[in-house]
Each structure stands twice: as structure tokens, then as C-alpha cells.
Structure 1
Amino acid sequence: MLLKLPQILSRAEVQAMRERLADDGLWRDGRISAGPQAQTVKRNEQAAQDHPTVLALQAEVLAAVQRSALFFSAALPRRYYNPLFNRYRPEHPTYGPHIDGAILHSRRTQEWVRTDVSCTLFLSDPDEYDGGELTIHDTYGVQRVKLAAGDAVLYPGTSLHEVTPVTRGARIASFFWIESMVRSDEQRRLLFELDMNLLKLRERLGETAETTALTGVYHNLLRQWADS
């Protein structure tokens, strides 16, 4: 399931985050954190994740997504891999086709995190750069994503994906992974669709015997499928 999440960060929050990321001293060659296969296609910059500024921004990103009910319903988070920050410019323009590692070690929590769901939070507006589309290959074909600053996208961690070359400006984003309580993407999608339609029924009809029964179905499916 690919899902766009609008306004995870306000414009003011984006601006404040961008100002702190403007320090060129924060940025390193992105290949430092890549595995052997990814190093052959990764040509971007990544903020040093142990820097105090970056540690503070990681906490802000997690706080922002955790206040989104839509994010929770779609991801059903159990653990997070600490948010990272990347930058693409014509000098470091692209990250070619790759699939992320299945299990990553989080420096923030010292836990191993299964990468069920990937999240990219855009910090640059589309008119600030040319190229730089997040291109995701899934069962419905190729999806090209280029969102407003403050918006995010969720997609399965199993997906082949890439960032196309940036030819003008700078594309700045935060990205991280979620280990979900529900491992299966198909099961998460079904739960999400049930949850969203229950909300619409309640808005239209109020609380009824039928919505109460369907809520029970949702929670019983979650109880059957989830690991907590």
C-alpha cells in the first residue's frame, strides 16, 4: 500500500528544520551508510546521524508522525528506525534502483528493526528542484512521488525504489522505517481500509449497532494478526 500523508509538518516546522539543516558541516557522502550493493547506485548526501542537531531533529520527526492518526492507522507501528536526513543536488544527484535491508540496527534505540514500512518526509517543495522523484515499483506499476514540503509518503519496505537525478536545486528529506505490529502489507491494507470506512460510516450515521459490530471485526482481526 502506498499512502500520501498531508501536512505532517507545518510550514513553520519545515522552515525551522530547514534552517538547522542548512549547515554544510552536517552532511556526509551518503555511501558511508550503504551496503555493498547500494554503494554502486547511491550518489547523495546524508546528515551525520550522531550530530546533536540531527538527534534533535530525529525526535521532532517522530513526534510529528506520531500525532497523525492516519499514519498510525496505516503503519500500526511497533518500532522505529531512527529518522535520517538526505540531500540531493546536481553534485550528488541520485540513488538508483535498490531494495532496503530487511532488518536494520537503530543507533537511537539500539534495537534491531524489521523494515516493514518505509516513510519519506519531504522538506523541499517541488518547485525548488528539478528531478528527484521518489520512484516506487509496486504491483500496480511505477509510482512517482514528489510532494509538498511537510507531506510524507508511506510505502512497503519490500518495494524496489529509487530517487531520480536532481538537475537543479536541492531535494532535502527525512526518511525512516517502521516495524509494524502487522507484518503483512496485505493485512495492513485491509485493516486500514476497514478503519477508514468505519470513520466515514460514523460521520454519516453516528454510532450504530452495525458500526459497533464492524469495530469488533477490526479489533478481532488486529488481535489475530498483530504482534505487540
Structure 2
Amino acid sequence: MASRSFGRITVTTPDLDDPGLYLSLVETLENPRGIVQDFAYGDADLRSLALTGVQLITGRVSDVRAERVRFESLNLHGVEIIGSELGSLHWSEGRLTRVHFRDCRLMGATLDGVVLDDVLFEECRLDYATVRKVRAGGPVAFVGCAFTEGTFTDCDLSGAVFSDCGLRLTEFGGGRYRGVDLRGSDLSRIRGVANLAEVRIDPGQHADLAQALVGELGITIGDD
């Protein structure tokens, strides 16, 4: 079983290169039974991708480019999503377990009511994303991701890690962020500083938080 460690957490990731595992190529992620298992799906250009009530178990999605994506109650277990662009993604409800997003463009995405458990986002673009009522049910890490002008609202991301992430004008609204590890990320222009009680930062980052708070409150510093 593969795993990656970030700070105080260890994320269990899909081990799809196990010599005893065979992934069958599929042309669609839909199935009348609602389950797609041991699959490989990729190299597709789509105008739209919509899945409702489907379970994707043990598989790889790669090089998929879709202009409009709608997922409802979509559950993933042991899945890699690599090098894909999911345009106008709206994902409501569902649970992700042992899922690895790598080198994906999810700009403007909306994640609403999704549960994350052993989930790693690595080198992904999540600019302008809206993350609402998302709960970390297990280890969650964002590594080298961009969240420019993203918004977190009513989330429980307790213990999650944001490592080397771009958080320019990212807003942390009301929610639970206890133990969130922000070490290595630029905090100088984040918003919602008052909501980040009990997070973890590097010794030098307190100045970034102070700068962000001054900017958020519109404080003018001067001696005249």
C-alpha cells in the first residue's frame, strides 16, 4: 500500500502499479450497475462529463479534457486522476477515499458537501474554486497547488496540510481549521485570518499573517 507523508499526516494513495493488478481500458465512466472497477480511462476530449450516483473503484483517469463537468453523489475509492482538465466542475456530495489528483486543472471548480479521506491534490490549479461544506474525514493534503481567489466556506478541514501552495486572495470563511498545517505557503495575502485559529505555521510566517490581517482590516500604517 503506497503512502506519502506531509508534516504530521500520512496520506495513503492508490497503488495502481501492483504487478497483480490489471486495469481494463474503458470508453466511458458510466455503467448501468453504477460501479466501474479496475479501470483505465483517458485521452479524451469531451464537451461535457456528467456522472450521478456512480462508484469508481481502483482505476486511473488520465489526460481527460472536459469543458463542463457535473458530478453528483460520485464516490471514488483508490483512484488516480492525472493530467486532466475538468472545466466548470461542480461536484456535490460523495466521498473520496485514497484518491490522488496530480497535475490537474480544476479552475473555477465547486466542491459542495464532499467528504475527503486519504486524498492528495498535487500540483493542481484550483484558482477561483469554491469549496463549501467539505469535510476531511481522514488525511488530506494540498501540495504545490494554486488557490488564487479561492473560497472555503463552512468546511471542516481539521488537520489538513497546505504545503507550498499559492494562496493569493484565498478566503477562509467560517469553518473548522484546527491543526491545519500552512507551513511553506505564502500567507501574506490570504483573507479570513480571524477564522484560522489553532493552525500550524512556520516561525517566520507570523509576519505574513500580520500583513494579511492589516490588509484585510484596511489599516493604514504611518507616522504622520
Structures share fold, TM-score greater than 0.5:
no
TM-score (norm 1): 0.27
The answer to which structure, 1 or 2, has the higher relative contact order (CA under 8 A, 6+ apart) is 1
Q: Which has the higher helix share?
A: 1
Q: Which has the higher strand share?
A: 2
